[in-house]
Structure 1
Amino acid sequence: MKKSIFQRIKNFKFRGFDYYAMRGVSNKTLRDALINFMVSSRGKKYKGELKSTFINFNNLEKHVENMNKDGFTVVDFKLSPEKLNGILSYVEKLQCYDPYRKNLGPIDPDNAPEETHTAHYKRAELVGNPDILSIANDNGILALAQEFLGATPTISNINLWWSFGGRKQAEEAQLYHRDVDDWKFCKFFIYLTDVSPDNGPHIYVRGTSSSPKLRKIRRYMDNEIEDTFGKENVMKFVEPKGSAFMVDTYGFHKGLLPKSGKRLLLQVQYSLNPLKVENYTPVSLDKAEMTHDKFVNRLIVES
């Protein structure tokens, strides 16, 4: 169904000119020039301790190289079982929702409706968990994000969702696409369940974040991607729970439709700017609990 002129005007007012410019500039040379201009005056201001749960700082340069060349990098260390189990216990008490079928109300992950492909938790409740917030503010991950972005990173989203198996047809982010959440951004993923080839592994097409090919923003079929970039560049992240990786999702990717079981994934997004599709209501935390960088967290935590 086509949107009315009034709906289009309303969406434009909410998202602003920058949102449409960001999606409309597909030429690689022009887009890169705009990004370079944007980051040149901002600088890299975040300086954390050389201590990280996920990154060996001796490998930081290599991780940045991987991000720039391939569009992804697998970090050095997994999330500890203690932290992982703590997060699982926390989210068991929360409710999750189908983002495309809000009329269904809260979703039971153990008995999700057949039409529900994914069920997401609320960002405000995730930010309120100290373990999740500490992951988002890990010194190594922030250092990697800063070096990749070229400027101080902003945590612009925290998301955690289930993907359910047994559905007949892929939909939405289960089809190949480029994200255009900001001019430049990256996403940190952690598997909170074991992910086999049948459980819906994250799929990424190596080298496509910097490729000038297929820049139109839409969903793409498998054959279009494989014919253009080659099957050998289609990477499947089949990993045990606790595994983590950083991805530039301007490159082509999808969450493979699970054949069976279900997958739980935590995502932290770092960008140059606030996301144009988000309404931010920073969470109020006890000052004693908030020891993280205020600028980095300004969108999600009340200062």
Structure 2
Amino acid sequence: MVNSALARLQGRSSAAKNPLKRLMHGDITQRFARFSSVRKTYSVMQSIRQYCSGELYPPELNIAECSVFDWSSLTKHMENMHRAGVSLGLQLPSQMVEEIQDYALHTPCREPNYHRDFYISEVHNGYLPDGHSVIRALVTDTPSKTCPAIAQLLSDPFLLTIVRNYLHYYPTEISWHLTWSIASPLPDEVIRQQYPPASFHYDIAGYNFMTAYFYITDVEADSGPHVMIRDSRRDKPLKMLISGGRQSDEAVLGYYGKDKEMVITGSRGFGFVQDPSCFHKVKPPKTSHRLLLQVRYS
């Protein structure tokens, strides 16, 4: 059920040339999850299936008894998610943040289409010693080396309660990604061409899904903030639904208006939950690398 960050590097099975393989893995039919009606229908079906099969607390989730979060804020987060598709204000304990950051500093990273693993300490001014420009670095994970703090978060009852309340079923798949967004001297236009998350986009990560994000480093306006369009999960023009993929700032802000744009900053340990079918992007960092932990539920 729990996938490591390596799955992200391997790509979706939709990249396979065999359409039958893509269909069997659901990567063709999941494309329809761009429509909110499909996501709602899937939620109803999953809710009924779990209820009828008695999967109110699926044992494979291994839900912990205690949470690291403040239960008094639970109702607020659930209401915010239903109203706007986002809720800010989660906070990781400082010890957990230290553990995750230390893990990221001492674990090899990978970048798509680069021939070897490397450590984040090898990156200087956006380049590796061999002159290769690095824009993002995905922290790897193997069964022999994993981060206990991340494993603890995956079974946190507070987060899973928010997920079930929003999706209306317990997730059947949980994946996590720990990613460095690299402070690069390259122009933003070049970064957007090489790094798709730097452009506005919406995710299709299953038939229905939501995500929790945690800043493991301090994030200010120039150090890689997450930017999203509040409550853009349903109200998408047909052209953007059909074309999908990346959209320009002009197109997105021209349709939704600048007042719906949220530039999310926060100190290390700050977190939030979001429906990633909302338009979002990362603003390329300029002053320092950003380390982000992303936990995806589907």
Global fold match (TM > 0.5): yes
Matched residues in 1 for 2:147 and 2:162: separation?
23
Post-superposition CA distance 1:89-134 (Å, at most 9, x none): 2232210011x22325425344344532100012436982211111
Whole-angstrom CA distance in 2 between matches of 1:142 and 1:74? 16
User: What runs of 5+ residues in structure 1 fail to find an aligned partner?
Assistant: 1-6, 272-303
Tell me the CA shift for residue 8 of structure 1.
5.6
1:12 deviation in Å? 4.6
Q: Which residue of 1 aligns with 2:196?
A: 172
Alignment partners' CA distance in 1, 2:210 and 2:144: 19
Q: Percent of aligned positions with the same letter in both sequences?
A: 23
SS at match of 1:41: helix
* Match among 81, 101, 113 for residue 67 of structure 1: 81
In the alignment, structure 2 segments of 5+ residues that lack a partner are 1-14
The residue number in structure 2 matching 1:283 is none
**Partner in structure 2 of residue 236 of structure 1:** 263
- 1:249-290 deviation line (CA, Å, top 9, x unaligned): 01111111112211001111111xxxxxxxxxxxxxxxxxxx
| Residues 1:49 and 1:181: Cα distance change in structure 2 (over 3 Å) | closer
Residues 139-184 of structure 1, C-alpha deviations (whole Å, 9 max, x = no match): 1011111111111124421110100122322221111111101111
Mean CA deviation greater in 167-176 or 9-18: 9-18
1:151 aligns with 2:173: no
Q: Distance in 2 between matches of 1:210 and 1:198?
A: 30
Answering whether residue 104 of structure 2 is matched by residue 91 of structure 1, we say yes
Specify the alignment match of 1:270 in structure 2. Answer: 297
Contact (CA 8 Å) 1:123, 1:159: kept in 2 or not?
no
Question: In structure 1, the residue corresponding to 2:138 is in which secondary structure?
Answer: strand
TM-score, normalization: structure 1?
Answer: 0.78
- AA aligned to 2:155 is N
Q: 8 Å contact 1:200–1:258 — kept in the other structure?
A: yes
Report the equivalent of 1:128.
146
Q: Which of 94, 110, 115 is residue 81 of structure 1 equivalent to?
A: 94
With normalisation by structure 2, the TM-score equals 0.79
What is the RMSD of the two structures over their aligned residues, measured on CA atoms?
A: 2.5
The SS at the match of 1:119 is strand
Matched, 1:247 2:274: yes
Offset at residue 39 of structure 1 (A): 3.0
2:57 is aligned with 1:46: yes
The verdict on how the C-alpha distance between 1:225 and 1:49 changes in structure 2, with shifts beyond 3 A counting, is same
Distance 1:61 1:162 in 2: 32
CA contact 2:33–2:208 (8 Å) conserved in 1 = no
Residue equivalent to 2:249? 222
In 2, Cα distance between equivalents of 1:80 and 1:211:
36
Residue 16 (structure 1) aligned with residue 24 (structure 2)? yes
How many residues are paired up? 262
